[in-house]
Amino acid sequence: MIEAISLFAWFAAASGAPIPAVDPLTQPIATSRSAEWLAPAVPEKIFGKTYLVGFGGLSVALIDTGEGLVLVDGALPQAAPAILDNVRKLGFDPKDIKFILSTEPHFDHAGGLAALARDTGATVVASARGAEGLRSGKHAADDPQLAYGGSWPAVTRLRVMKDGEVLKLGKAAITAHATPGHTMGSMSWSWQACAGEGEGKACKAIVFASSLNPVSADGYRYTAPSSAAIVKGFEASYKRMDALKCNVLISAHPDNAGAGRYNDKPGACRAYADRSRKLLAKRLADERVGAK
Ligand SMILES: [Zn+2]
């Protein structure tokens, strides 16, 4: 058997067949925060058939629908193999991932989507503006972080969902909620996680919230007339988060959720919106007095 494999390798090399090069879809994007974002974390069950398969500083969720798996977000390009390992550690086969829901077209949540989609055969799901960003692998022209530049692996197989639309697979019904502002394509996702055997009979409303941070590259002004749609977007997103049925909040960056890897305290989604509301109000005030 050893000889057979060696012989095959020799033939492959001698025949000029392509020798596997470095994988372009998982090439690391290094930032000052990448190590902290990708701090290893043990995959864990939140409730029912909903799990976390991400990292200390970036959330990735997994839903077992009974007729296939759904992943939410893809972290950085170099994170894809670890995400799939975490899926395996929970006893699932990554090939059963049918959809990967995207919260926003930024490298830290969408960088791994292209590799994950390729390796699982899954379709990536996003808002129309989100899908535009994922296809380009770059910031949109109206993104407050546009001036940071950079790019990430582009996604080719996409399904667009509208605000309020429901993705049904197996026992899961996952609702898309447009939460623009941080990017105009940002989308949050909610579903019911219901108890399995021995967990009682309850169901919990899970919300995977997109980033609502009013952060920007230097020089961007939220008070500029051209930023009006972004500010309006944030305001609509706060109202949306306030109104969502939300027993458990998973935020794209867990440190913005106010508690560990997820927050299951009452009012978690409202507190999440409020944090951003205050940050944006401060930012607007700072810009008006010339402090920013
Ligand atoms: Zn972002």
Answer yes or no: pTM beyond 0.85.
Answer: yes
Report, as an integer, the average pLDDT of 184-211: 92
C-alpha 71 to ligand 1 mean position (Å):
18
C-alpha 213 to ligand 1 mean position (Å):
8
Quote the mean pLDDT of the chain: 93
> In the prediction, which pLDDT does 257 show?
80
Closest CA to 278 of 214, 225, 230: 214
C-alpha 1 to ligand 1 mean position (Å):
50
Report, as an integer, the average pLDDT of 223-242: 98
pLDDT in tens, 132-147: 999 999 999 999 999 9
C-alpha 178 to ligand 1 mean position (Å):
15
The domains of the chain, with CATH numbers, are 34-288 (3.60.15.10)
- Max CA distance (Å), the chain: 75
Report, as an integer, the average pLDDT of 55-82: 98
Contact criterion met (CB below 8 Å) for 155 and 113: yes
- Indicate whether 12 pLDDT > 60: no
Report, as an integer, the average pLDDT of 107-116: 98
C-alpha 93 to ligand 1 mean position (Å):
29
C-alpha 136 to ligand 1 mean position (Å):
16
Contact criterion met (CB below 8 Å) for 184 and 146: no
C-alpha 286 to ligand 1 mean position (Å):
22
> In the prediction, which pLDDT does 1 show?
38
C-alpha 8 to ligand 1 mean position (Å):
46
Cα dist. 248→39, 139, 274 in Å? 22, 30, 16
Contact criterion met (CB below 8 Å) for 221 and 147: no
The beta strands (E) that lie in the chain are given as 44-47, 50-52, 61-64, 69-72, 97-101, 123-126, 158-160, 166-169, 172-178, 187-194, 203-209, 248-251
Asked whether the CA dihedral 142, 137, 112, 69 is positive or negative, the reply is: positive
97-101 and 123-126 strand pairing: parallel
- Indicate whether 15 pLDDT > 70: no
Question: What's the rounded Cα separation, in Å, for the pair 244 and 162?
Answer: 17
